[in-house]
Chain A
Amino acid sequence: MSELHGKPGQGIGARVPRKEDARHLHGRGNFVSDLIFPGQREVVFLRSPIAHGILRGITKPAGFESVVYARADIAGIRNIEAPSTLPTYKLSTQPPLAQGKVRFVGEPVAMVVAKTRAEAEDIAEQIQLDIEELPALVDAHRARLDTDVRVHNEWSDNLFLTLDFDNNFEAESKKATIVVTREINLARQAMVPMEGRAIVAHWDDRAGQLIVYTSTQAPHVIRVGLAQFLGIDEGMIRVISPDVGGGFGLKCVLWPEELCVAWLALTQKKPFRYIEDRREHLTAGANCRQHHYTVTAYADQRGRLLALDAQITIDGGAYSNWPFTIGLEPGQATGNLPGPYEFKGYRCKTYCVATNKPGFLPYRGVARTGVCFAMELIMDAIARAVDRDPYEVRYENLIPPQLMPYNNVSRKHYDSGDYPRALAMVREKLDYDGWLARKAQGEPDGRLIGIGFASYCEQSAHGTSVFASWGLPLIPGYDQATVRTTPDGGLEIRVGVHSHGQGMETTLAQVAHEVVGVPIERIRVVHGDTGITPFSTGTYASRSIVMAGGAVGRACQTLLPRYIHIGAHLLKCKPDDARFEKSEVVGPNGRVSLKEIATAWFLRPERLPVDVDRDGLEATVGYKPTVDTGAFTYASHGAVIAVDPEVGGIEILDYVIVEDCGTMVNPMVVEGQTLGGVAQGIGTAMFEESPYDANGQPLASTFMDYTMPGATEIPAIRIYHTESPSPYTLFGIKGMGEGGAIAPPAVIFNGVNDALKDLGVEVNETPLTPKKLLEAIERARQAHPQRKVA
């Protein structure tokens, strides 16, 4: 990293190496697909080859009738329905295996069980599906207007949801002298964690429980869902999420496959395993990012934004997921489009349209990658319209620090920060002026240089009131943590969130260390098991370090007086005369270690004071921030782009981030999260796409077709930090897991548009493939034959 940032020690702010690394470095991670139970059977799903059709019949191969399951064979499973309190919301009914109709390519239609996956596939390919094709709804704009062909017959049209927002738009827009409109599009893509989804379920007779190992970000939520849709008591289910090979949102919802495999184990009392393969993921998992914008900005002559008018169309796919619902994406898009900018008039109409594609899911950045892309492209377009430097225009529009906390035009409450400073720092660290000079000179190799900026703020750890406003059937409240002192003076922490790359086995230990002082080597963080951890809605929405970190901090703080009370007794002094300091209780006459205190409580109770706190050295404490509207991390990104106009190549020459996520628990982890997010954002910007043909066939079913960025596609990014603690959270921590993925498309497109400005080229549709870039140059050549075009 550019400047290694970190405090000494092991507490909050220290750059502590991760506790979780060793097992992975030795190949001893423990992922769901690594599990094998005696007698385990493999499960395969036969998926619809057709995007939209009437499912007339399923013919099971002769001799295999008993190992092939269709919807009618799994009657014990309820259809997945995710109700929402949002007005205009329409409920979709998703059968765990298709029934009546198939609604997207990749929808599970039948389930096959065999000894090996290969044998199950042998059987699955013998199943005959009788599907009468219906016209496929592939284009969201057309699907929105179509009432004859409908994804869900019981609806009157194809609209999941329509949101209307207006805050003072008419009055503010009238003041404008500059009006700029752009159409902006993002392609559909897949999330592509390196580990696909995976489920192993078995019945534990001794516990009388269905044990479901599943690769999920939210084990407790999955338990709620399994119980609800299998129609059994929650107490009958234990969900374990061991090592998870990346989530990114894909694994925070209940999947039909989870229900089906759990049902097999429940009804047959045997172990079953299903492992999603990459082809299934890329087809049945093409479920995010596809937004279409028409944005009109109203500004003054200097480019000061006065009002914004937007129409957003979200290609929602076929089904609304449980529990987040399809409402999350349009809700976030509408609310977050104004971003970090200060303006007073805003109108937005957002359509979420049902199409014959996999149902939309919340991918890292949830809607904000799209809205940031739209907002930042329009910001550069304003700068063009007023013929000013996009940096200057952006800088002047950012919310100034003196207005913090700030209630913005979409009624978000921004808690803290100096947004313009982050942008100014990017300018400086990027050496903007140096690049401008070089750009003016021109490159000897014929490439064109451009510089792009983007700023955003990232709502994190938003709680009850926010999710309630999005109408969800399951809303986060207090997150709980249990902190237990071990008899030898170590700590064991139990949390309901799940860590799958975020390093919380380390960072939550750092929080506990900050309070209790026990070396983190002696602090064990236990997560991912509903049997032994307190309830949490899980890891999503950049919430875990704030929520679980807060709960761990509070639980540790709860234990301190109990330690002091016993310690003072052992030191033969009054508790008021003793204090807790770095895992010891210190009194006027000496000090006693946590180990001795723990030994007294657990093993030598005769040494305890008579009025000892009977709750002992273990506490379960719930936490949520004092204001639950979110702690807003923010950042500005800047990049220098070189465009090779002959072949359409793009190289990122430099990429600088200035980020502020409040108090950092572990700067190394913060940087890792950011870098990983940026890599995904670069994927969105330049490489990743799940294209569909007009029949609704997905055209990227392998990594040969779906281009993932590799080590040569991601530059050596430089990150700089500022710290503006949140006033509403314990320690001032803000969540930041998603932010990296938000800005890169905006930064890269702004850089490319800057590079190609003289050619009259403006691109505004992801991903920016060489072909698309050359097409744009070609179009510009035809539109402006007088210009010098490469």
Chain B
Amino acid sequence: MKSAKFDYTRPHDVRAAIHALADALGEAKFLAGGQSLGPMLNLRLTRPKLLVDVSRIEALRSIDVVNGSIRIGAAVTHAEIEDAGASLARNAMLPAVAREIAYRTIRNRGTIGGSLAHADPAADWPLALAALDAVIIVNGPAGQRSIPSARFMLAAFTTQLADDEMIEAIIVPELSPSARWGTYKFCKRTGEFPDAAAMAVFDPARRIARVYVGALSGAPVPLDALARGIAQQGAVALTATAVDRAIAMAVPELDAVGRKMHAATTMRAVQQALAS
């Protein structure tokens, strides 16, 4: 199938992009890498009147380290994060997560901001950035605001982003040297969206402990009590029963099989963190 008709514009800065979107009165979509939007356009599941291509706006295209944080422009591609091992030495989880997203050909074009805005429940970034306590910087006619990544995604394909806002950057804290992290996703086929996923971050120096499960029917869900227990007691707190109970409480709608799959995935992500 071929896309329905649309117009196309490629503004040079964030301001112009926001204006272009606002001027289209709700009939425009931002286009970054187009790796989710492209298929939906071709399948005519979405039919915006205007695409505002933000993929080349300089301000959205860089990775910068400032004041103990990593600022990743929204239009930075997964492949660029995958390949940025050196500049991301203080948060090696980012390239590790990027490398497992879909296929290299998709990673070459797909962007971190696009992935967050699209908010597929099974996508990697909403999960990883929640576990990493990242902050999403969004911009719109009313100005810039920042949203903690854990609260950014509300449900499947639904975020806090207003219709006239765009993601500008993602601020990810640097991990301290004592930090440990683990990621595990279970895909029935390489590169596909996973059936279950979990990520864990423990950073004693920053007193942060996070365990998140993803690939649910909505946003990633934190297992705070489990994370806290592990932070306080280490591996002793990581029992199959504890994980199962944590999942059952946090995601009650899962059936027995879904619970088992997510519990195993969570167990492995945390084990990986403990072993790192």
Contact = CB atoms under 8 A, between A and B. Distances in A.
Is there any pair of Cβ atoms, one from A and one from B, under 8 angstroms apart in the complex? Answer: yes
Interface of A: 116-118, 121-122, 125, 277, 279, 646-649, 686-687, 702, 704, 707-713, 769-771, 774-775, 778
Interface stretch (B1-9, B22-30, B218-226): B1-9
Given A117-B2, A121-B1, A649 B189 contact: no
B188 A770 contact: yes
B207 to A, nearest CB: 31
A279 B43 contact: yes
Contact of B260 (A646, A707, A708): A646
Contacts of A707: 188-189, 192
Interface residues of B, number: 24
A709 B187 CA distance: 12
A279 B1 contact: yes
Interface in B230-276: 256-257, 260-261, 264-265, 267
Given A279-B43, A774-B257, A646 B195 contact: no
Contact residues of A: prevailing secondary structure: loop
Contacts of A647: 186, 195-196, 260-261, 264-265
A133 B45 CA distance: 24
B44 interface: yes
13 contacts: A121-B4, A122-B4, A646-B264, A647-B196, A648-B261, A686-B188, A702-B43, A704-B193, A707-B188, A708-B189, A712-B190, A769-B188, A778-B260
A687 B189 contact: yes
A775 B264 CA distance: 15
B256 A778 contact: yes
B44 A713 contact: no
Contacts of A122: 4-5
Contact of B190 (A116, A648, A710, A775): A710
Contact residues of B: prevailing secondary structure: loop
Contacts of A277: 1
Contacts of B195: 647, 770-771
Nearest to A648: B261
Given A118-B2, A778-B260, 17 more contacts: A118-B4, A121-B4, A125-B44, A277-B1, A646-B267, A647-B186, A647-B260, A647-B265, A686-B188, A704-B192, A709-B189, A711-B190, A712-B189, A713-B190, A769-B188, A770-B195, A771-B261
Contacts of A774: 257, 260-261
Contacts of B43: 279, 702
B191 interface: yes
Nearest to B193: A704
B257 A118 contact: no
A133 B196 CA distance: 37
B39 interface: yes
Contacts of B190: 710-713
Interface in B130-160: none
A778 B257 contact: yes
A451 B249 CA distance: 39
Interface string B169-207: 000000000000000001011111101100000000000
Contacts of B264: 646-647
A775 B188 contact: no
Contact of A771 (B44, B191, B193, B257): B257
A686 B188 CA distance: 9
Contacts of B193: 704
A775 B260 CA distance: 10
Contacts of B188: 649, 686-687, 707, 769-770
Contact of A649 (B4, B186, B191): B186
A494 to B, nearest CB: 39
A770 B187 CA distance: 9
B193 to A, nearest CB: 8
Contacts of B265: 647
A712 B192 CA distance: 12
Given A117-B2, A771-B257, A775-B257, A702 B39 contact: yes
Contacts of A648: 257, 261
B102 to A, nearest CB: 11
A220 B2 CA distance: 33
Nearest to A649: B186
Contact of A121 (B2, B256, B257, B267): B2
A707 B264 CA distance: 23
Nearest to A712: B190
A709 B192 CA distance: 11
Contacts of A710: 189-191
A125 B196 CA distance: 37
B264 to A, nearest CB: 4
Contacts of A117: 2
A116 B5 CA distance: 13
A635 to B, nearest CB: 26
A279 B256 CA distance: 33
- Residue among B4, B39, B195 with the most chain A CB within 10 A? B195
Interface string B98-132: 00000000000000000000000000000000000
B115 to A, nearest CB: 15
